Amino acid sequence: MIRLENVRKVYRAGGEEVLAVSDVTMTVSEGELVALVGPSGCGKTTVLKILAGLHGHDGGEVHIGASAGAGGASGGLVPGRDIGMVFQQALLLKWRNILDNVMLPAEILGLPKKASRERARDLLEMVGLADAAEKYPYELSGGMQQRAAIARAFVHDPKLILMDEPFGALDALTREKMNLELLRIWEESRKTIVFVTHSIQEAIFLSTHCAVLTAGPARMADYFPVELPFPRKLGLKSTEPFGVYARRLYQCLGME
């Protein structure tokens, strides 16, 4: 699904150049859930925006789907149609009810209204919000709003889901519940997901592969499979196999 080779990104402002990503190489197979982990400000979101087609790149190659882009070219999936995004904040429109919020990408893309509405209701049921379809965002908790945002990202049936620290603003207990919820949704849908986080435990718990970025400018420090069995429960975090992966990440990030 995705192959990045020696990808580099430079931001230019006021005649100055700032190197944001120096060297990122990784491969993501279809149906994987890959965590992109690293310290705050290291360039994780920049990599995600390159994958989304929101930013070009200044070196290396980006292969997405069947097509490839070199230099500043974009990848093979069509942004908006083939890619869904979930942000740190749910960003629901306060004047639309939850069902209409989930419907928004389908409306923008001009997809058949009846079929899209049925799919939106099915997705709300999948994320446990079937009874909240007619409610408005202010009537939902933060975790419920994020579940609605996940349903919205899935509604147009994209090939790739990109998540930019979607649980970062939630309290610790809600965040752990959302980790379990995301794994359940992924196991049901088998979508390809790239999940950005700065939490070492979250990265290990969620992922099939873990990509580790150094402090900015981002450089790939490690990329390895997380061979822990599914389905995963929170008790897994207290086991020795989980600890082995955690220590590997701490070492990569110079924290041990």
| All structural domains of the chain | 1-82+161-172+189-256 (3.40.50.300), 84-157 (no CATH)
Q: Contact, 210 vs 226, CB < 8 A?
A: yes
- In this prediction, residue 88 carries a pLDDT of 85
- Using pLDDT thresholds of 50, 70 and 90, give the confidence band for residue 12: confident
User: What is residue 151's predicted lDDT score, i.e. its pLDDT?
Assistant: 93
Averaged confidence pLDDT in the chain: 89
Residue 146, classified by CB atoms within 10 Å of its CB into exposed (0-12), middle (13-18) or buried (19+), is buried
Task: Write b or e for each residue in 204-237: b if 16 or more Cβ atoms lie within 10 A of its Cβ, otherwise e.
Answer: bbbbbbbbbbbebbbbbbebeebebeeebeeeeb
Please give the Cα distance from 207 to 54 (Å, whole number).
24
When mean pLDDT is compared across 134-138, 166-170, 237-241, the lowest value belongs to: 166-170
**Would you place residue 30 in the very low, low, confident or very high pLDDT band (cuts 50, 70, 90)?**
very high
Rounded Cα distance between 17 and 13, Å, is 7
